[in-house]
A and B are shown apart, each in its own frame.
Chain A
C-alpha cells in the first residue's frame, strides 16, 4: 500500500445487522426440523367444546404432535436413505443428506461455540449465480463450513453454498465423498462456470493452503489470491463477486509451528503445531471458542466488461486485486472494532 488509508471504524450496516440477526435467529431454529406447529388457539370456542367432549387425548395432542411429526420426518428420511429414493445432482450434491445429517451438527458450533455474527447478508442475492470470495484461515477449513451454514441458515432464501475445494480433498477417501455430497466440487474453471451458469451460489477461498496453513503471526494478512481463476470464471459467466471477510477463524487453532517432515510423510500440505496440538492429543483438536464475524461486502459486478473480458489478463489482475483489497480492508475494520478475541 502506497498511502495510508482511512478505515471507517463503524461499518454502516453493522448495527442494522445486529438487529436483523435477532429476527434471523428465530427463523433459523427451523432449519433441519419441521416447521413449528401453529400455536394452539386455546381461546377459540370450538376448541373448548372439543376439550369437553374428548378429555383424554386433547390436552396432550398439541405437544406430542411436534415430536411425533419429528419422528415421522426422521423415519421417512431413513426410508428414503435405505431405498435410495433421493436426488443427486451431476456434481454429487445430495441436499437431502446435507440438510438432515451434515448441517444440524454445525448449529451448536455456529450459534453457541463461535457465536457467528453475519453482516451484510443482503448483499448475497436471493437467486441467480454469484461468487462469494473469502479469506481462508484456521488450519482446518471451519471458516468454509461456517460460511456455508450461515448462507443456509441466515439467508432469507436459505441458499446452499456450493464450495470449490482443493484436489487433496477429493483424493482423500471418505472426506472426498462427503465433500461431494455436501455440494462441493473441485476448484477448476469448468466446474465453477458450470455451477455459476446454472444459477448456483458458489464459494471460493482463493488463498487455498497458503491461507489456511499460515502461521499465527501472519494472521489476517491475506496471501496471494491464486492466479485469478475465480475472476475469469465470474467474468465468463457475468455473475457478481461478493467479497467475504471472516474474522475469528484465525484464532481457533493458533498455528505456532509446522512439522514439515511429518506433513511430507502423510502427504499433507502442512502439519500444524498449536499450543494444544499435538501435545494434548485429541483434546487439542477442540477449536478455541473465538467470536466470529462474517461480513459479506458490496457485490462487484462483472457483467459490465463485455464478452471476452476474461481474455484480458490485466483486467483479471486488477479485479483480483480489487477483491483482495476489499477483503483486507474489511478485515482491518472488523479487527479494530473487535475488543476481545473471545468476547467480540
Chain B
C-alpha cells in the first residue's frame, strides 16, 4: 500500500535528498518531510520540489513531535552513514548514527500512525576477516564483532531496529544491507579513494569489492517504501571487482603499502583531507566483502540495473577521471610491438 506521509532522515545527503525528491515527484504520496541537521544544498533543495524540509536533529526528542503532528505513516531512515561530515568527524558521526537511531525509533514507537520503517543499513555488519565465508547471506553474522567505527555503529543500529520490530509487530520493518555505493553523482569515502592519482592498497592483499550504483540504491529504497516488503535484504550489484582490478580500470596507479605502515598512511591521508578511512574500512581493504543477493532478486523483486563492473565504469566515465595510464597509449604500444614483429618477419 502506498504511503501517505513519508519522513526521510538525512535528506541533506545524496541518498536522503534524492529519495525525498523521488517521493515528491510521486503523486500517490501526499506529503514528504525531509529531516536533517543542516539544510540541503540549493541544487538538492530544488530537486526536492514540494518536499518540506524540517531542520531537526534526530538525536533530539523534538523529532517525536514532528512525527506525531504530521501523522507520518512511513519513516525512511537513510541517515546512517559511513562518511564523517567534516573535521568534527568520527564522534559526531557515531552520535548521529547510534543515538539518532535510538531517538528516531523511540519516536516511531510512540506514534500510532507509523506503519512502516525502512532502514538503510550496510553489509559492514558482516565484518571483514579471513575466516569468513566468501559470500554472506542474510542469516550470517560477523566472525568477530566489529570493535569500532561504522561497522559497530551499524551492528548497534540493526540491534535497535530489531528491538523496535519486536515491540511494534504491527509495523513493517525493512532493513537493507547495502554494499558500498558508487556512481558519478554520489560522494563517499570510496569515490574519493579511487579518484586519487596514486591509490594506496595493503601489500599482499587484494580485496574483493562489490559495489552498487547509487541510482540502484535509490530505486531499492523507493521500492521498499512504496511496497510492503518487510525483512532483511542484502543489496549489491552482480559480480565482483578485485581492488587492484578496479584501480587498473580507473587508470590509477596502485601503491602497495606494507600493512604495518597502513595506519600511518591513513592518518596522513586524513590530515591531508584526501580520504578519511577508519580502521574497519582499512580492514575492508584487506579482504573485501561480497554478499548474496538471491533474496533481493527473488523475494524483494529487484535486480540491480548495473553490475559492479558497469557501475564502476559509469563512475569512472561520469566523473571524467583522467586515467594516469592512458588506455590509448597501452593499445598503441601493443600495436607498435606487433608491427615491429611483423616487420622482423
Q: A88 and B242: CB pair below 8 A?
A: yes
Q: Name the segment of B35-43, B48-56, B96-104, B325-333 touching the other chain.
A: B325-333
Query: Cβ of B86 < 8 Å from any Cβ of A?
Result: no
Chain A neighbourhood of B110, CB < 8 A? none
Give CA–CA (A73, B202) in the complex, Å: 31
Give which listed residue, B245, B251, B334, contacts A88 with CB less than 8 A.
B245
Interchain CB contact (< 8 A) of A186 among B132, B208, B345: B132
The CA-CA distance from A81 to B135 in the complex, in Å, is 25
List residues 29-75 of chain A with CB under 8 A from any CB of chain B.
57, 60-61, 64, 68, 71-72, 75
* Residue A190 lies at the interface, judged by CB distance under 8 Å to chain B: yes
* Interface residue tally for chain B (C-beta within 8 Å): 39
Query: Separation in Å of the A318 CB from the closest CB of chain B?
Result: 27
Q: A176 and B205 in contact (CB under 8 A), knowing A75-B334, A186-B134? A: yes
B345 touches A185 (CB 8 A): no
A112 within 8 A of B: no
Q: Which residues of A contact B334 (CB under 8 A)?
A: 75-76, 78-79
Residue contact B205 to A173, C-beta cutoff 8 Å: yes
Q: Return the CB mask of A158-173 against B: 1 if under 8 Å, else 0.
A: 0000000001001101
Query: Quick one: which of B247, B249, B259, B345 contacts A173, CB cutoff 8 A?
Result: B259
Q: How far is the CB of A204 from the nearest CB of chain B, in Å?
A: 15
B337 touches A71 (CB 8 A): yes
Asked if B220 is at the interface (CB within 8 A of a chain A CB), the reply is no
**Chain A-chain B contacts (Cβ-Cβ < 8 Å), number:** 102
* B83 CB–A CB distance under 8 Å: no
User: How far apart are A198's CB and chain B's nearest CB, in angstroms?
Assistant: 11
Residues of A within 8 A of B330 (CB): 79, 82-83
Cα(A128)–Cα(B204), bound, Å: 33
Contact of A79 among B210, B246, B331 (CB under 8 A): B331
Interface residues of B in 113-168 (CB under 8 A from A): 130-135, 137, 140
B222 close to A (CB within 8 Å): no
Which interface residue of B242, B249, B331, B338 has the most chain A CB atoms within 10 A?
Answer: B242
Contact A68–B204 (Cβ < 8 Å): no
Contact in complex: B133, A83 (CB < 8 Å)? no
Determine if B255 is an interface residue (Cβ-Cβ < 8 Å): no
B195 to chain A, nearest CB (A): 16
A84 with B245: CB separation less than 8 A:
yes
A177 in the interface, Cβ–Cβ < 8 Å? Answer: yes
CB A72 to nearest CB in B, in angstroms, measures: 6
Contacts of A173 in B (CB 8 A): 202-205, 259
- Partner of A68 from B140, B203, B290, B341 at Cβ < 8 Å: B341
Could you tell me which residues of chain A, from 139 to 175, have a CB within 8 Å of some CB in chain B? Answer: 167, 170-171, 173-174
Which residues of B does A touch, CB under 8 Å? 130-135, 137, 140, 202-206, 208, 210, 239-242, 244-249, 251, 259, 290, 325, 327, 330-331, 334, 337-338, 341-342, 344-345
21 A-B Cβ contacts within 8 A? A60-B345, A71-B338, A75-B334, A79-B331, A82-B325, A83-B248, A83-B251, A84-B249, A90-B135, A90-B290, A92-B208, A170-B130, A173-B203, A176-B130, A180-B208, A181-B242, A186-B131, A186-B132, A186-B133, A186-B134, A191-B135
Interface residues in chain A, defined as those with a beta carbon under 8 Å from any beta carbon in chain B: 57, 60-61, 64, 68, 71-72, 75-76, 78-79, 81-92, 94, 167, 170-171, 173-174, 176-177, 180-181, 185-186, 188, 190-191, 194
Extra pairs beyond A75-B334, A188-B133 (6, CB < 8 Å): A78-B334, A86-B245, A88-B208, A90-B135, A176-B130, A176-B204
